[in-house]
Amino acid sequence: MKTVRSADLLPGMVLAEPLKDLAGRTLLKEGAELSESYIERIRKWGFEDVAVQGGVDEPQPLPPVVGYQVEGRSWEEVQAEIELRFSRSVDSYLMMKLKKAVLARVRKLVELHAGR
């Protein structure tokens, strides 16, 4: 068993202990394999670190980032850059659809790189 910060969780890791809320209700059982959506939820619930099974393996290196620089930047900073890029395209439905997808994608990348 090892303790991993929520920001460093990776899909495929397995919980070594159940995750419980303040009332003691089980949110995720021991042995649950973490998917991306589970990891997102764990972060949303506010857990700082989580016990997972296994030794002291290093997490896999992240693939190189495409597009907006996310390393060492806060979400607010990156978001402001994206907002500026799209600021001349607010009347295009297609570009607003793209903006939504870009915000979601980049936010995920910022979170993935936070704390690395």
Partner 1 sequence: MSRMRELIGRIRNLPTLPVVIAKLTRLLADPETSVKRVTRLLAEDQALTAKLLKLANSAYYGFAGQVASVSQAVVMLGFGGVRDVALSASVIDLFGSGGEGDELSELFPVDRFWEHSIGVGVACRALARSLRWPDPEEAFVAGLLHDIGKLIMLQHTPGDLLRVLRLCHDEGLTFVDAEARCDVSHAALGRLLVEQWKLPERISEPVGFHHQVRPKRATARVTAAVQFADAFARGRGVGRSGDDFIPRVQPEVAEMPGIDDLDMDVYIERFDEEMRKASVFLELAGGLQGEGEPG
How far is it, in rounded angstroms, from Cα 31 to Cα 53?
Answer: 8
In the complex, least distance from residue 113 CB atom to partner 1, rounded to whole angstroms: 14
- 93 lines the binding site for partner 1 (CB under 8 A): yes
Taking the least distance from each CB to partner 1, the nearer of 16 and 82 is 82
Pairing, β 2-5 against β 49-52: antiparallel
- 82 lines the binding site for partner 1 (CB under 8 A): yes
- 66 lines the binding site for partner 1 (CB under 8 A): yes
Count of residues touching partner 1 (by CB under 8 A)? 27
Taking the least distance from each CB to partner 1, the nearer of 43 and 99 is 99
* Site residues (vs partner 1, CB under 8 A): 63-64, 66-69, 81-82, 84-89, 92-95, 97-102, 104-106
